[in-house]
Structure 1
Amino acid sequence: MSSCFTISLSLLFFFINFAATEAVPTFLRHYCPNATLFTPNSTYQSNLNALLSSLSSAAADSADGFANAIVGQNPPDQVYGLFLCRGDIDITTCSNCVATGKQDILQRCPNRQVSVIWYDECMLRYSDVFISSVMEQVPSFTMHHTGNITDPTRFMQVLEETMDDITARASVRKSGKKVAIAEANFTSLKKLHTLAQCTPDLTVSQCNTCLRAAILGLPRGKKGGRMFTPSCSMRFELYPFYNASAIAALVPPPSYLPSPPALVTRRNGTYLFLLFVFR
């Protein structure tokens, strides 16, 4: 009896630890320039703490997975911030990611007036200048899968067509989540899975511009890749990495935007953090 109880207790702890591990957001990258520092225990720091707490609270019931906020009466002590959660995750996962980012960004970017942190599940950023409804393409970074495609010409054709499709659909949404996904047949046995997303405060034109630029940062001839900026992101893989039913539950796809000219050649890479673009 004692042995069975011990085994059951061990299994219980295992599942508790497993669940706790699963709840931890996957950190990807942070950016915080040394040139923008604030004085410890200053009014700016007090406002920053209040801002991050406000965003964390907003994430707990944000149906759009997005919110922005301003704290402070006058410059240079005003702080502006926002968060964006991946379009297919639920409110609990979104809230957990932003809450983690609230603590993590202060540890990774101490005394910085401008910072952004990316996880697989969300992005959190703040600044001493106005950022709401402003399209930002820098800083940016890419992640590349190490595996190569056996038929890169065919793959890039399918990828470009699919990215055009989801860029148009994500951009044209005028309210709610600006996100779109698509699947395409690469071979009879392999499917391409893609996702594009913008912050909901962007206009149709801003989102379209951001995603078109992000496409150019994607790798050529690789099995997977991602591109992140403060205002939008794109990803493709040869396996499903998103909750398709969650995105399908959003409003029906609207009319498409006109397609742009053919894309230019992209660079190679590995599935590592390879590119940072600064102001």
Structure 2
Amino acid sequence: MFFSKSIPLCFLLFCLLHHAALGASLFHFCFSKENYTAHSPYDANLIQLFNLLYTKVPPTGFGLGSTGKGQNQANGLALCRGDVSSQDCKTCVVEASKEIGERCPSGKGAIIWHDNCLFKYSNVKFAGKVDYKNKFSLWNGYKVDDPTPFNAKVKELLSGLSTKASSNPKFYATGELVLSSSETLYGLTQCTRDLYNSDCKKCLDDAISELPNCCDGQRGGRVVGGSCNFRYELHPIVDP
């Protein structure tokens, strides 16, 4: 897959090396300009927050938490993909939290995405607010033969799934669209469950509006943010 934050052209070799450097993660941002020191009150609250989310998230696939007070308060969120089992969800949350600690040591705010989950923490309260800043896109680098009708079908499928996800209690939807006797388009949309239904819909629609920039004619792609994401492929993308 190709990677982009601002969606410029990205060369295959660079992207493959970048992906390897990130290890198991898809992408991450160390977004806070503030740092904390080891054994400080914020550090202790962050450790407590991580332990809280390890327990809180897997049963339902989503969780929010806050530990501490005032300037030392640590706020966190974790979300697992809607089809992921509780055990795989827990594994992903634990691995993501450990990895982001290595990627962003001493940073008071960071976010990381794995294929099965996202994990975010900050000293600033963010629950209920759409995260438009932390976002990236991926595409697979292979184009379809006839982009114009294909692009229209991708938008049709994802727009329908945006409506479906925003009205689903789990803020998650998958679907497919038959393109021909030998080809089916698969899609997925998801939001973090701290949002209002209307904010989930707007977040997804805004992400889908980026299709012409990130994924024009691409056989597969996704836009992934701190509050919502979509993905489409010409092969199944979730567990049955």
Shift of 1:172: 1.5
**2: distance between equivalents of 1:82 and 1:34?**
16
**Is 1:213 matched up with 2:206?**
yes
* Pairs within 5 Å for 1:79-90: 79-90=74-85
Question: Residue 241 of structure 1 corresponds to which residue in structure 2?
Answer: 237
**Is 1:121 matched up with 2:116?**
yes
Question: Residue 275 of structure 1 corresponds to which residue in structure 2?
Answer: none
Percent identity over the alignment is 33
**1: distance between equivalents of 2:54 and 2:116?**
14
Number of matched residues?
215
Question: Residue 262 of structure 1 corresponds to which residue in structure 2?
Answer: none
**2: distance between equivalents of 1:103 and 1:139?**
19
Q: Is the 8 A contact 1:115 1:125 kept in 2?
A: yes
**1: distance between equivalents of 2:210 and 2:39?**
39
Q: Higher strand share goes to which structure?
A: 2
Question: Residue 27 of structure 2 corresponds to which residue in structure 1?
Answer: 29
Residue of structure 1 aligned with 2:50, choices 44, 49, 52: 52
Shift of 1:34: 6.0
**2: distance between equivalents of 1:37 and 1:141?**
24
**Structure 1 outlier segments of 4+, above 6 Å:** none
Q: Deviations over 1:186-243 (max 9, x none)?
A: 2221110000000112111100110011112331100000111100010000000102
Shift of 1:26: 3.8
TM-score of the aligned structures, taking structure 1 as reference length: 0.74
* Pairs within 5 Å for 1:182-261: 182-218=175-211, 219-244=215-240
TM-score of the aligned structures, taking structure 2 as reference length: 0.86
Please give the secondary structure, in 1, of the residue aligned with 2:150. helix
Shift of 1:103: 1.2
Question: Residue 171 of structure 1 corresponds to which residue in structure 2?
Answer: 166
Letter in structure 2 aligned against 1:85:
C
Unaligned runs of 5+ in 1: 1-24, 245-279
Please give the secondary structure, in 1, of the residue aligned with 2:72. coil
Question: Residue 67 of structure 1 corresponds to which residue in structure 2?
Answer: 63
Letter in structure 1 aligned against 2:223:
M
**Is 1:38 matched up with 2:36?**
yes
Q: Is the 8 A contact 2:32 2:108 kept in 1?
A: no
**2: distance between equivalents of 1:235 and 1:26?**
18
